[in-house]
Structure 1
């Protein structure tokens, strides 16, 4: 899979040369932004494909390209997410926007102009990668019905994830009423469709697995993906910055309305907690943690994670799921629930 991505970067860098040095530097930055991830989504595509194929060889090349497409999509969403969150750090180092901002300042741009240039670069980079992911799937050497089905899956994942991101911003900004059901919907839409549900079902489609099994894997992915996002929200406040590579103050500073925060709003702790979060808050992360713990909000999130994982594991007990795939996905469910980064 890394070879497919390496070839893609080389092709794009070569094409960018015709548009000047700055565009070439942008593509170099895009490539750097794709390094260092867990490659979770490609692994899910390949796991489903290989476990469900009677003979994996005929479409192995297409499976690898499909896996690479999901990694491009993931990188695109990270680039856009960092712009939305005004974040210049990703995985413990400057992200694409951060790199471009530093370049702009070093070149003598005013801070506001450097920030605008950096954010525009990251937005365009994300747009380009979404296009590249769709193009990669559209060019797969598979029968047309299979290719169209995969494109539909990718389209549905992008559509749902955009709804989740919009809801996330709306909740934080106060444009959407922060009731617990609305926050849980956002949590389910934002990550699970493109990170878990679609990759698993796409691998099954490419393998020619029964449609019923593909739908079951999509449901499993939705449950585990939601648990994964809930864990991410917990780590965003209670995690170890050395392991997560992200600040534990960022979510509170941005006023992120996570499931924990939505639950805390229903408790007596909210009167104090609301003063500590958002751009105007004092940023006392230790007190934020204490209030989330004392209010029961952390415990609520942990119970949600445990319930989602239990429901997902129950799906795997159906006879339709092959033993090898059941083992692989059970391990995935465990990692999603207890991970520290």
Structure 2
């Protein structure tokens, strides 16, 4: 099977270890300024909310800024030059990402992300220190995550409108941003409902869920709206967005693999949580046709076997290899589509770089 070009990049065609591009620095600086303004404003009417914004800033710090990089990739691929609004739009996607992570941690009842306590954990621990029992403390932590996520979501939407306001395709950009929020919510809901079923979701159901939940807001729409901001036609924006959708699903497939077979010291998350929560992932979908795995999964849900038995059973099905093969096929399709669009060489190389990073990622 053919492989995407294996360029050693760290996103947007930047060699690993190289100095980040000026636009990435600009996005990080703008994000810090946005958080600082929100913190200062909130402190005037609610000191507690000011503290929450400070904690939000800490939680968002150190991200890879993948979504802003993709906005800039789409923008530059269609000749965009004035990067100010592209930076703002990239920040909007990063704030949206932060919002969805806050809510996702609450839904999954996670108190650790990337090896560090989540915002939920900070408020839980404060409640414990005030003498609350664990149940009430965890409720307080999750409640704080809902509030923080809502604050970020509101700020992200307003920022997307500001970024698009002077663009001829403003309505299309705002509609796309709104749509990806709705799709992410739909994907999260399907994820929840699948976890309540006795049997895992089927492969096509998982792929669709991951397209909605992750690929849209993380890859497809950043590329699409970046292109629109630069003056691309709706057809051109949809085409490069389609490339992003394939990359985004591939990214989530690898994420599913790492969620069960990754190194927790690298990923910063448990390799047991997906199975414990009854999540339908590409691994469980592929393995569900194997009687031994299905039987062990049911026994685990009945608390008759331990988690290691289920993981070993899953490993024996070969689902990991099949999932990686699917991701590889999606990345190859994306890079071929980029070549077919006759994008500028730098844009094509950047898409190849993202594909390579997705397939090689360990966290």
TM-score of the superposition, structure 2-length normalised?
A: 0.88
Map of 2:344 onto structure 1: 322
With 83-92 and 15-24 compared, the bigger mean Cα shift is at 15-24
Deviation at 1:326, TM superposition (A): 0.5
Map of 1:110 onto structure 2: 133
* Distance (Å, rounded) in 1 between the aligned partners of 2:95 and 2:279: 26
SS at match of 2:163: coil
Map of 2:14 onto structure 1: none
Matched, 1:208 2:244: no
Matched, 1:47 2:69: no
Which of 50, 56, 60 is matched with 1:24 structurally?
A: 50
Q: Where does 1:1-341 land on structure 2 (aligned, <5 Å)? A: 1-53=27-79, 56-57=81-82, 60-140=83-163, 142-143=165-166, 145-174=168-197, 178-275=201-298, 277-278=300-301, 280=303, 283-285=306-308, 287-341=309-363
Deviation at 1:242, TM superposition (A): 1.3
SS at match of 1:140: helix
Distance 1:141 1:294, change over 3 A: closer
**Cα root mean square deviation, aligned:** 1.9
Deviation at 1:248, TM superposition (A): 0.9
Distance 1:51 1:180, change over 3 A: closer
SS at match of 2:356: helix
**What CA deviation, in whole Å up to 9, does each residue of 1:60-119 have, x standing for no partner?**
111111110000000001101100000000110100001110111112222222111111
Distance 1:78 1:176, change over 3 A: farther
Distance 1:89 1:283, change over 3 A: farther
Check conservation: 2:297, 2:310, Cα contact below 8 A. Answer: no
Check conservation: 2:164, 2:229, Cα contact below 8 A. Answer: no
Check conservation: 1:213, 1:321, Cα contact below 8 A. Answer: no
Distance 1:11 1:279, change over 3 A: farther
Distance 1:268 1:161, change over 3 A: same
Distance 1:30 1:166, change over 3 A: same
The answer to which structure, 1 or 2, has the higher relative contact order (CA under 8 A, 6+ apart) is 2
* Distance (Å, rounded) in 2 between the aligned partners of 1:53 and 1:340: 33
SS at match of 1:302: helix
With 7-16 and 139-148 compared, the bigger mean Cα shift is at 139-148
Deviation at 1:176, TM superposition (A): 8.8
Deviation at 1:180, TM superposition (A): 2.5
Distance 1:40 1:280, change over 3 A: farther
Deviation at 1:247, TM superposition (A): 1.1
SS at match of 1:38: coil
Check conservation: 1:62, 1:142, Cα contact below 8 A. Answer: no
With 161-170 and 313-322 compared, the bigger mean Cα shift is at 313-322
* Distance (Å, rounded) in 2 between the aligned partners of 1:71 and 1:138: 15
Unaligned runs of 5+ in 1: none
Unaligned runs of 5+ in 2: 1-26
Distance 1:196 1:99, change over 3 A: same
